[in-house]
């Protein structure tokens, strides 16, 4: 099966097309990066800039042609920090639907897990590893203590801090100090993974660009992937490049020209994260979210088996979810099916209304204690948890959060292990 996995970040939009078989990724057929700068102006306006949307549409037009040329069986895009922060996220969902690219806006925690999965996919074990992902809008730091990957997302990114603190190039020393102080404070108040770590892996454009520049060669994956960057070299490059104009940075061998305006803040964020973890060296990886998404698609459930539902012809709904007819006892209903990590993370966020007897069915790979929250959910819901035999365990009414911006988000957890969860309009189960 051929899959297309897209990572829509605050600075770059990446497309990877790969062959997957069963739960394994066999080979990468195509890998492409476009600097779309979706995070332009987001920090101050909380909206996608019209120019950023134009750049993204041009990118989608090209990517959709590539996806068709490779005859991909599945396509999924995940949008990260910038899309989480804006009030007009529906704009990119509309563009995705226009070009046949299903977009899922994922939480920082889900982004961290996808990044970790992708960054360690070529390693026999993730034990003792930590991963740093310096993005345009946020930085994810995660590790696996043996119980599964855990991490945190911190709102410091190369585009975000450049817009806040950098107003001219060369960059003034006082601006550099403010960037570093801001990043240090953000990491200090965040629940970072606890070491010691055998190795720290750094992913995304900041470390890969620094690796190419440090070698003085044009970017080549075989030279960058696995390259080791020392903390003192990162800080040396940050200082040297801060004293350059953008044009002078663009002329450096290995520099991605469209990253030249934010590379200094990215380097400072990376070095600050390394100090927070107590590591003096990182191993650079060219793999990240898109690899994590592809591995997720490799493990897709091929079919739904419910003892209490009847099969119906599924149809594509707005190119995001399949909609299937079910019944519980004599009660018939329809549900959008969320059967992978990205779809489950997106859920019913930003949905303003649902038709009667319509909901969303969440399907998991194994029975476990399930937890749901009402972040960015605009309508009151009811959730039913079911075991592997389709037996209803319990029903909980879910309230809308007091504000889309609140950190006090209502959460709802199953009292027993469950394999399925069904969200319907409030009161439906009564």
Domain residues of the chain, as ranges?
2-106, 109-292, 315-425
Q: Is 297 exposed, middle or buried (0-12, 13-18, 19+ CB in 10 A)?
A: buried
Higher pLDDT, 297 or 132: 132
Beta-strand pair 315-317/321-328:
antiparallel
Q: Among 94-108, 214-228, 312-326, 377-391, where is mean pLDDT lowest?
A: 312-326
What does the mean pLDDT of the chain come to? 84
Higher pLDDT, 50 or 316: 50
pLDDT confidence band for 310 (50 / 70 / 90): very low
pLDDT at 300 > cutoff 70: no
Tell me the C-alpha to C-alpha distance, in Å, between residue 217 and each of 166, 208, 212, 248, 393: 27, 12, 6, 16, 59
CA 386, 392, 393, 399 torsion-angle sign: positive
pLDDT at 236 > cutoff 70: yes
CA proximity to 227, closest of 204, 249, 205, 210 = 210
CA–CA separation, 108 vs 137, rounded Å? 11
Higher pLDDT, 266 or 90: 266
Three-state DSSP class for residue 423: strand
pLDDT digits (tens, 9 = 90+) for 355-392: 888 899 999 888 888 888 776 677 889 999 998 888 88
% of the chain at pLDDT higher than 70: 90
Confirm or reject CATH 3.30.420.150 for domain 109-292, answering yes or no.
yes
pLDDT at 223 > cutoff 90: yes
pLDDT digits (tens, 9 = 90+) for 411-430: 788 889 999 999 999 999 87
Q: Do 315-425 and 2-106 have the same topology in CATH?
A: no
For residue 268, the model assigns a pLDDT of: 96
Q: Domain 2-106 is in which class?
A: alpha beta
For the full predicted model, state whether its pTM sits above 0.75: no
pLDDT digits (tens, 9 = 90+) for 77-115: 888 878 887 888 888 888 888 888 888 887 777 788 888
For residue 269, the model assigns a pLDDT of: 96
Strand partners, 34: 13
pLDDT at 216 > cutoff 90: yes
pLDDT at 316 > cutoff 70: no
For residue 298, the model assigns a pLDDT of: 54
CA–CA separation, 128 vs 390, rounded Å? 39
CA 108, 110, 111, 113 torsion-angle sign: positive
Q: Domain 315-425 is in which class?
A: mainly beta
According to DSSP, residue 102 is labeled -
CA proximity to 161, closest of 189, 142, 186, 132 = 186
pLDDT confidence band for 134 (50 / 70 / 90): very high
pLDDT digits (tens, 9 = 90+) for 40-69: 888 788 889 999 999 999 999 999 999 999
CA proximity to 31, closest of 53, 57, 61, 63 = 63
């Amino acid at each position: 099966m051929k899959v297309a996995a897209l990572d829509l970040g605050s600075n770059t939009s990446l497309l990877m097309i790969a062959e997957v078989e069963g739960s394994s990724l066999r080979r990468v057929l195509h890998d492409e990066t476009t600097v779309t700068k979706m995070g332009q102006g987001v920090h101050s306006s909380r909206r996608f800039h019209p120019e950023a949307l134009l750049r993204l549409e041009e990118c989608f037009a090209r990517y959709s042609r590539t996806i068709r040329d490779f005859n991909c069986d599945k396509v999924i895009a995940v949008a990260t920090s910038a899309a989480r922060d804006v009030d007009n996220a529906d704009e990119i969902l509309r563009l995705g639907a226009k070009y046949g690219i299903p977009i899922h806006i994922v939480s920082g925690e889900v982004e961290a897990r996808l990044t970790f999965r992708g960054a360690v996919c070529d390693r026999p074990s993730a034990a003792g590893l930590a991963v740093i992902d310096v993005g345009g809008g946020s930085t994810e730091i995660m590790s696996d203590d043996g119980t599964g990957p855990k991490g945190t997302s911190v709102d410091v990114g190369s585009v975000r801090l450049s817009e806040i603190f950098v107003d001219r190039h060369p960059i003034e020393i006082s601006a550099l100090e403010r960037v570093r102080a801001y990043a240090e404070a953000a990491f200090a108040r965040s629940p970072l993974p606890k070491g010691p770590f055998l190795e720290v892996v750094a992913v995304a454009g900041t470390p890969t660009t620094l690796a190419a520049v440090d070698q003085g060669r044009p970017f080549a994956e075989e030279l960058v992937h696995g390259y080791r960057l020392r903390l003192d070299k990162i800080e040396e490059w940050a200082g040297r490049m801060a004293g350059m104009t953008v044009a002078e940075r663009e002329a450096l061998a290995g520099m991605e020209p469209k990253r030249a305006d934010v590379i200094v803040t990215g380097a400072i964020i990376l070095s600050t994260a390394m100090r927070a973890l107590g590591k003096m060296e990182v191993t650079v990886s060219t793999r990240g979210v898109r690899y994590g998404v592809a591995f997720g698609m490799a493990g897709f459930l091929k079919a739904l088996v419910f003892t209490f539902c009847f099969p119906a012809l599924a149809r594509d709904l707005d190119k995001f979810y399949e909609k299937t007819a079910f019944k519980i006892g004599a009660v018939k209903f329809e549900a959008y099916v969320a059967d992978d990590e990205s779809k489950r993370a997106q859920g019913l966020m930003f949905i303003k209304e649902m038709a009667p007897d319509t909901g969303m069915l969440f399907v998991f790979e194994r029975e476990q204690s399930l937890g749901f929250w009402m972040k960015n959910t605009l309508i009151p819901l009811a959730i039913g948890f079911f075991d592997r035999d389709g037996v209803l365990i319990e029903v909980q009414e879910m309230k809308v959060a007091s504000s889309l911006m609140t950190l006090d988000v209502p959460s709802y957890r199953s009292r027993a292990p469950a394999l399925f969860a069904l969200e319907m309009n409030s009161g439906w189960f009564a």
